Amino acid sequence: MFATPLCAFVLALAVPQDPAAKPLELTGIARAARAAALSAPKGLVLAQRAELGASVEAGEVVASFVDTALALEARRAELDLELERRAQESREIAYRRESENLELLRRNFDLLRAQVDSGRVTQIEVLKLEVELQEKETEILSLEGAVGEARLRVARAEIELELARVALDATLLRAPFSGVVAAVHLELGERSGDGPVVELLDPQRLRVYCEVSADQVAGIQKAGVARVQPIFEGAPRGERSFEGRVVLVEPALRATPPRVGLWLDLGDGVSGLWPGQACRVLIAPR
């Protein structure tokens, strides 16, 4: 994707050396140390995506898909939750209203019962009000149960909405880190398959890969640190350089005779270098 510019990099490992000895010269290449291939559930229709080479921020949506069924399910869950909340509110209002009425009945009952001895209120009137009070208490218990049930229904509706949103969110691919779109594998209107939809990389987090013979590895690992400087058309330009550290030594693939792959990490905040650029690696002899 990224065009290789007319430049290379010099890597000089800080190894104890004979000043008269020439450094070992190798060929290397810059690679992204942080990259991601983002995939989507199979069979979704691509509705929108970031363009090739676009810069993206961590968490930004880089591709979205059309899934009518999931969208409708999420909307239905939203409406269901709204209805359940209204039903809960209605039951709670009724409960508060009848609770206030119950308190009034209790006060009236206490007043009537206090007036029985004076003859101003008959015992029958007190009994009638007592029956009404018991009925109201039974009604309050029923309303308490209805409020509790309504709260459970709201909680269930909230869970269903969250599940619907999670399913719908699977149709959105978000950047796991800030970087650039390095490759796109799907066009608008096409359906997702088994492979990635887009690939991202962080151009400011680089490693340099080169290959060395097995007998040279020990000295390189002891050195541990390298300096990287861009050169243009074979000649150094500017004073910019980067420190690289040996982070991984592994068997080289398709190497005859057998060689060892060496990875040098350039750390964060690298600018002016791009993945895919060729490198000239100079290793000072031990």
Q: Are residues 188 and 116 in the same domain?
A: no
Q: Are residues 75 and 157 in the same domain?
A: yes
How many domains would you assign to the chain?
A: 3
Q: Are residues 74 and 161 in the same domain?
A: yes
Domain range spanning residue 257? 1-34+202-286
Interatomic CA distance for residues 285 and 14, integer angstroms: 9
Q: Are residues 182 and 224 in the same domain?
A: no
Q: Are residues 76 and 158 in the same domain?
A: yes
Q: Are residues 85 and 153 in the same domain?
A: yes
Q: Are residues 228 and 262 in the same domain?
A: yes
- List the CATH number of the domain containing 195: 2.40.50.100
Backbone angles phi, psi at 163, to 5 degrees: -65, -40
Interatomic CA distance for residues 42 and 242, integer angstroms: 42
Q: Are residues 85 and 163 in the same domain?
A: yes
- List the CATH number of the domain containing 137: 1.10.287.1700
Backbone angles phi, psi at 214, to 5 degrees: -60, -35
Chain segment 248-283, per-residue pLDDT in tens: 777 776 666 667 777 777 777 666 667 877 766 666
Interatomic CA distance for residues 191 and 203, integer angstroms: 29
Interatomic CA distance for residues 9 and 105, integer angstroms: 91
Chain segment 107-155, per-residue pLDDT in tens: 888 888 888 777 777 888 888 888 988 999 999 999 999 999 999 999 9
Window from 5-14, 163-172, 200-209, 239-248 with minimum mean pLDDT: 5-14
Interatomic CA distance for residues 7 and 240, integer angstroms: 14
Chain segment 82-96, per-residue pLDDT in tens: 999 999 999 999 999
Q: Are residues 254 and 190 in the same domain?
A: no
pTM equals 0.56
